[in-house]
């Protein structure tokens, strides 16, 4: 056992003294970076977690913290090792940990240089003696964190929704169509509750083709995942009277979701791809003839019959999208959701796909579509849902109504203009998210009151 080495002169010089100096430096930094608990600077592991949070790199900070603890543990085990073999193993582990720590340490320190606006070459100083640049940044009066980076704002994004009135909540969900009553959808992110969506209530009647609009990060995909029950929210979602969350295992077969990417195996024929999808999704008792008829119908509807025996990999982008749609449509879903079905397609083919979707909706289905180029096909839609991020960076309902009503509500001629109006100014938008959310909430409240009076 060499445990006494921990308290030797060399240990003091090469281990304990740098450790204390680094802790002291972090303690100084904690004031400038406004840590909630400054004492954490002296706690192994926790101090780097706190540092990571304060410079908006919680993941890297947490990893570095864990590595620091593991390194300390292996160091003690190494010194206390009863056999040379264990000692060698511990030394090897320490080497691996050191290399990993080095990588994460550089990442953290590079972020510190950005926060304090110093040159990146300071990282060499960090590599030589990590405590030295930390102490300089901590106690040098000329070094102050840059306020313009808005790191705190980014870290706080979604943690506290803006105090806005909620869009009208319904007393009772409708029996027909899709009814969404979403209170909130949140996640836990390194101990912090982060709201992704809040207060979204709407009813979509059967036979509607609905456009889902919103800027980047407004929560469109999160909303879709919550609606189809794939990622559960604090919500009640019913589809023609069936509770999607409660009866998910059954209701999921009544929902079709076409993801953004063409997630289809390239090395199978088109007909077999759609047939296999039908076998997986359609009721087991359906006869083979009926199933094949359904497959043929869908292939016909989407214009895939001609090259049905060809390999999926040989098909064009538009055909791939249609195959992906066919795989879901073959079950004749009551709710059909498509995430950017026109992505990467030219205008003519995109229009063709949306016309097919219009035809599907006309059969009494609900079709919800996310698209970033809505104006070329907006005439086909019955309704528009507009999601916007409030000033707390939480996705909310900014509008739900017909395309014409949307144009009047936002005072814009185009759907893309509507998206720009609710986007934040930093993103090149008009920054009217909060205003539109509140205005729409008032509008729905007034409509509900009117309905109650009448």
Partner 1 sequence: MKETIRHKGRLAQTGIYLGKFLRMFIYQNDWKVLPMGAIIAAVVTFVVGANLFVTQEGTLTGSFALVCVCIWNGVFNSIQVVCRERDIVKREHRAGLHMSSYIAAHMIYQLLLCLAQTAITLLICRLTGVHIPERGVITPWGIVDLGITLLLVTYASDMLALMVSCMVRTTTAAMTVMPFLLIFQLVFSGSFFSLEGFAAKLTNLTISHWGLDGVCAIGRYNEQPMVMLWNTIFKFKDVEVLGKKPLLDLIVMAENNGYRDQFLLWSGAQNQNAAYAATAENLLRHWGVLALMAAVFAVVAVTALKFIDRDKR
Binding region for partner 1 (CB under 8 A) out of 258-266, 342-350, 373-381, 422-430: 258-266
Q: How far is the CB of 138 from partner 1 (least distance, A)?
A: 35
- CB nearer to partner 1: pick between 189 and 355: 189
Binding region for partner 1 (CB under 8 A) out of 176-184, 257-265, 353-361, 394-402: 257-265
Which of 142, 283, 288, 452: binder of partner 1 (CB under 8 A)?
283
- CB nearer to partner 1: pick between 152 and 292: 292
Cβ-contact 238, 228 below 8 angstroms: no
Half-sphere exposure of residue 282, counting CA atoms within 13 Å on the CB side? 22
Cβ-contact 247, 342 below 8 angstroms: no
- CB nearer to partner 1: pick between 32 and 252: 252
Is 217 a binding residue for partner 1 by CB under 8 A? The answer is no
Is 280 a binding residue for partner 1 by CB under 8 A? The answer is yes
Q: How far is the CB of 139 from partner 1 (least distance, A)?
A: 39
Is 276 a binding residue for partner 1 by CB under 8 A? The answer is yes
CA diameter of the chain: 88
- CB nearer to partner 1: pick between 23 and 238: 238
- CB nearer to partner 1: pick between 241 and 411: 241
Is 3 a binding residue for partner 1 by CB under 8 A? The answer is no
Is 279 a binding residue for partner 1 by CB under 8 A? The answer is yes
Which of 250, 293, 316, 404: binder of partner 1 (CB under 8 A)?
250
Kindly report the backbone phi and psi dihedral angles of residue 351, in degrees, each rounded to the nearest multiple of 5, phi listed first.
Answer: -60, -45
Spatial distance between the Cα atoms of 228 and 433, rounded to a whole number of angstroms: 25
- CB nearer to partner 1: pick between 29 and 278: 278
- What the block records as the tokens of 359 is 């035809």
Binding region for partner 1 (CB under 8 A) out of 3-11, 281-289, 413-421, 442-450: 281-289
Which of 9, 10, 36, 85: binder of partner 1 (CB under 8 A)?
85
Is 77 a binding residue for partner 1 by CB under 8 A? The answer is no
Spatial distance between the Cα atoms of 279 and 296, rounded to a whole number of angstroms: 14
Binding region for partner 1 (CB under 8 A) out of 49-57, 191-199, 248-256, 405-413: 248-256
Per-residue contact string for residues 314-353; x = within reach of partner 1 by CB under 8 A: --------------x-------------------------
Is 123 a binding residue for partner 1 by CB under 8 A? The answer is no
Closest by CA to 177, choosing from 211, 130, 227, 219, is 227
Strand pairing partners for 23? none
Spatial distance between the Cα atoms of 24 and 319, rounded to a whole number of angstroms: 63
Cβ-contact 433, 388 below 8 angstroms: yes
Q: How far is the CB of 314 from partner 1 (least distance, A)?
A: 10
Do you know the residue count of the chain?
454
- CB nearer to partner 1: pick between 156 and 247: 247
| Residue 399, helix vs strand vs coil | strand
Binding region for partner 1 (CB under 8 A) out of 107-115, 129-137, 262-270, 372-380: 262-270
Is 268 a binding residue for partner 1 by CB under 8 A? The answer is yes
Spatial distance between the Cα atoms of 97 and 78, rounded to a whole number of angstroms: 14
For residue 179, give every residue at least 6 positions away whose Cβ sits within 8 Å of its Cβ, in sequence order, or none. 170, 173, 202, 203, 204, 236, 237, 238, 239
Cβ-contact 182, 234 below 8 angstroms: yes
Q: How far is the CB of 303 from partner 1 (least distance, A)?
A: 22
Pseudo-torsion of CA 213, 216, 219, 224, nearest 10°?
60
Is 264 a binding residue for partner 1 by CB under 8 A? The answer is yes
Is 4 a binding residue for partner 1 by CB under 8 A? The answer is no
Is 259 a binding residue for partner 1 by CB under 8 A? The answer is yes
Cβ-contact 438, 161 below 8 angstroms: no
DSSP single-letter state for residue 39: G
Count of other CB atoms within 10 angstroms of residue 221 = 17
| CA dihedral sign of residues 165, 171, 174, 180 | positive
Is 216 a binding residue for partner 1 by CB under 8 A? The answer is no
Which of 8, 144, 216, 261: binder of partner 1 (CB under 8 A)?
261
Binding region for partner 1 (CB under 8 A) out of 13-21, 69-77, 255-263, 404-412: 255-263
For residue 126, give every residue at least 6 positions away whose Cβ sits within 8 Å of its Cβ, in sequence order, or none. 105, 106, 109, 132, 133, 134
Which H or E element spans position 181? strand 178-189
- CB nearer to partner 1: pick between 265 and 442: 265
Cβ-contact 64, 101 below 8 angstroms: yes
The footprint of partner 1 (CB under 8 A) covers 85, 221, 230, 241-242, 247, 250, 252-253, 257, 259, 261, 263-265, 267-269, 272, 276-277, 279-285, 311, 328
């Amino acid at each position: 056992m060499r445990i006494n080495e921990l308290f030797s002169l060399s240990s003091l010089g090469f281990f304990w003294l740098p450790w204390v100096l680094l802790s002291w430096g972090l303690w100084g930094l904690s004031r400038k970076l406004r840590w909630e608990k400054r004492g954490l600077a002296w706690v192994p592991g926790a101090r780097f977690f706190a540092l990571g949070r304060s410079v908006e790199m919680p993941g890297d900070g947490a990893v570095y913290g864990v590595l620091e603890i593991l390194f300390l543990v292996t160091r003690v085990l190494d010194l206390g090792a009863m056999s040379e073999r264990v000692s060698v193993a511990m030394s090897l582990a320490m080497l691996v940990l050191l290399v990993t720590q080095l990588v994460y340490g550089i990442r953290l320190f590079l972020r510190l240089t950005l926060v304090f606006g110093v040159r990146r070459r300071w990282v060499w100083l960090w590599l030589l003696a990590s405590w030295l640049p930390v102490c300089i940044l901590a106690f040098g009066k000329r070094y102050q964190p840059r306020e313009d980076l808005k790191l705190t704002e980014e870290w706080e994004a979604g943690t506290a929704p803006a105090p806005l009135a909620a869009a009208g909540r319904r007393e009772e969900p409708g029996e027909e169509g899709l009814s969404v009553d979403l209170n909130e959808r949140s996640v836990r992110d390194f101990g912090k509750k982060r709201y992704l969506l809040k207060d979204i209530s709407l009813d979509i009647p059967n036979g509607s083709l609905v456009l889902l609009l919103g800027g980047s990060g407004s929560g469109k995909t999160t909303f879709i995942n919550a609606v189809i029950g794939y990622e559960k929210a604090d919500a009640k979602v019913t589809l023609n009277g069936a509770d999607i969350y409660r009866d998910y295992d059954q209701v999921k077969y009544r929902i079709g979701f076409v993801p953004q990417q063409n997630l289809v195996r390239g090395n199978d024929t088109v007909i077999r791809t759609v047939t296999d999808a039908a076998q997986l999704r359609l009721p087991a008792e359906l006869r083979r003839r009926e199933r094949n008829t359904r497959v043929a119908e869908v292939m016909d509807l989407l214009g895939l019959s001609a090259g049905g025996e060809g390999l999926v990999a040989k098909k064009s982008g538009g055909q791939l999208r249609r195959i992906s749609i066919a795989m879901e449509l073959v079950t004749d879903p009551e709710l059909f959701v498509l995430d950017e079905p026109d992505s990467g397609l030219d205008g003519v083919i995109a229009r063709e796909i949306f016309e097919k979707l219009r035809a599907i909706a006309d059969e009494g289905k609900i079709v919800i579509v996310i698209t970033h180029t809505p104006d070329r096909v907006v005439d086909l839609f019955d309704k528009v849902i507009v999601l916007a991020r409030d000033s707390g960076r939480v996705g909310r309902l900014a509008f739900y109504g017909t395309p014409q009503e949307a144009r009047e509500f936002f005072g814009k001629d185009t759907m893309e203009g509507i998206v720009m109006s609710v986007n934040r100014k930093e993103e090149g938008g008009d920054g009217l998210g909060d205003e539109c959310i509140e205005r729409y909430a008032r509008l729905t409240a007034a409509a509900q009151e009117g309905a109650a009076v009448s």
